[in-house]
Amino acid sequence: MLQKFSENSFLMGAASAIIAVICFSINDVAIKFLSGNYALHQVVLFRSIIGLFFLLFFILPFSGGWKALSTKRLGIHFLRGCCVVFANMSFFLGLAALPLAEGVAIFFISPMVITVFSVIFLKETVGPRRWLAIILGLIGVIIMLRPGTEAFQFAAILPLMAAFGYATLHMLTRYIGRTESAAAMSFYIQVTFIFVSILFGLILGDGRFSGGSDPSLEFLFREWSWPFIKDYYILVAIGAASALGGFFISQAYRVSEAAFVAPFEYIALPMAIVWGILVFGEWPDIISYLGIVLIIGSGLYMIWRETKAVMQQVPDTPRYRR
């Protein structure tokens, strides 16, 4: 059974995406929790160093060893790293000012962008029923946003910017995924994070631009300070979640089509609402629940259609995805 699972690229892609989303959700709530006391570059630096440690000593030994990091596409790895650094920092700056669920909901334009990009740049096929499911998911996101509310403050632009960076990242992942291992793709992203965080620290770490009232700008410009002992546990959790999430999301987009994997990331939205309730006391209303139903419903429908298509597929038959 495990062999059949490993040979099914769709099931492997789905499982990897779900694990990654859970890790990233833990990462999001933890960074938002720390955003009131530390600088963004500091949190990201700690996260990346710890994440790199977990990757090298807990993931790499089971992913081909050190040879899995060898590459002839260093330039594209660096470009992927820049995309994910831009996406992550924009998103986390937005979370510092927005309720967790609102920030994640705005960011959820990214799966739609990924699907469009996959059709335009990767020439992948998406049938009309899957387009309809994506549209319903988008309607759910719009309901969550509720245009005209405080979700459309300046900080709301930041998760939107992050969405386009994230979509570009995964187009590059699909481009090099046939020749590069998931471990290598995760490794070079962590290295890029460390480099950029150190650079930010050298430029902004003295806090000379801090002191304003905007939560996002304060998170960006705050002075470096050594963490409290209790916060080291959170930083370790962030690092581990980052390493695992980066590995599994790279694996998901490497083994499956981008348009199939993207809807699984919708799971992060209900998780963000649960975290918002438990950690920050942010209770959603009935309109938010309506948006969640549409988003989850569209994702589940796409899973069902994909599974049905795989079961009906026979050898030497062209694969048409509806």
pLDDT beyond 80 at 114: no
Residue 318 has pLDDT above 50, yes or no: no
Query: Would the pLDDT of 317 be above 50?
Result: no
pLDDT for the residue numbered 220: 93
Helix (H) or strand (E) run with residue 78 in it: helix 74-97
Rounded Cα gap, residues 320 and 298, in angstroms: 20
| Residue 28, phi then psi, degrees to nearest 5 | -65, -50
**For residue 320, is it within any domain?**
no
The total number of structural domains in the chain stands at 1
> DSSP alpha helices (H): ranges in 123-209?
128-145, 157-176, 182-204
> Residue 263 and residue 245: Cα distance in Å, rounded?
16
Question: Burial level of 116, CB count in 10 A (0-12/13-18/19+)?
Answer: middle
Backbone phi, psi, residue 305, to 5°: -65, -40
CA torsion sign for 312, 313, 318, 322 is: positive
The helix, strand and coil proportions of the chain, stated in percent and rounded to the nearest 5, come to 80, 0, 20
Residue 17 lies in a domain: no
pLDDT of residue 5: 47
pLDDT computed for residue 320 by the predictor: 29
Task: Say which DSSP state 206 is in.
Answer: T
% of the chain residues with pLDDT over 90: 34
Q: Is residue 229 part of a domain?
A: yes
At 89, the pLDDT band (50, 70, 90 cuts) reads very high
Asked, for residue 1, whether it belongs to a domain, the answer is: no
Evaluate if residue 41 carries a pLDDT over 90: yes
Residue 166, both tokens = 């994230």
| CA–CA dist 43, 104 (Å, integer) | 19
Whole-angstrom distance, CA of residue 120 vs CA of residue 175: 13
Residue 16: inside a domain, yes or no?
no
Q: What is the mean pLDDT of residues 196-217?
A: 89
The CA distance from 202 to 39, in Å, is 12
Higher pLDDT, 255 or 23: 23
CB atoms within 10 A of CB 69: 19
Among 65-79, 83-97, 125-139, the minimum mean pLDDT is found in 125-139
**pLDDT of 100 strictly over 70:** yes
Overall average pLDDT of the 148-170 stretch: 80
Tally helices (H) and strands (E) across the chain: 14, 0
205 inside domain: yes
> Is 168 part of any domain?
yes
Q: Which domain holds residue 265?
A: 27-312
- pLDDT confidence bin for 261, thresholds 50/70/90: confident
Query: Residue 60: inside a domain, yes or no?
Result: yes
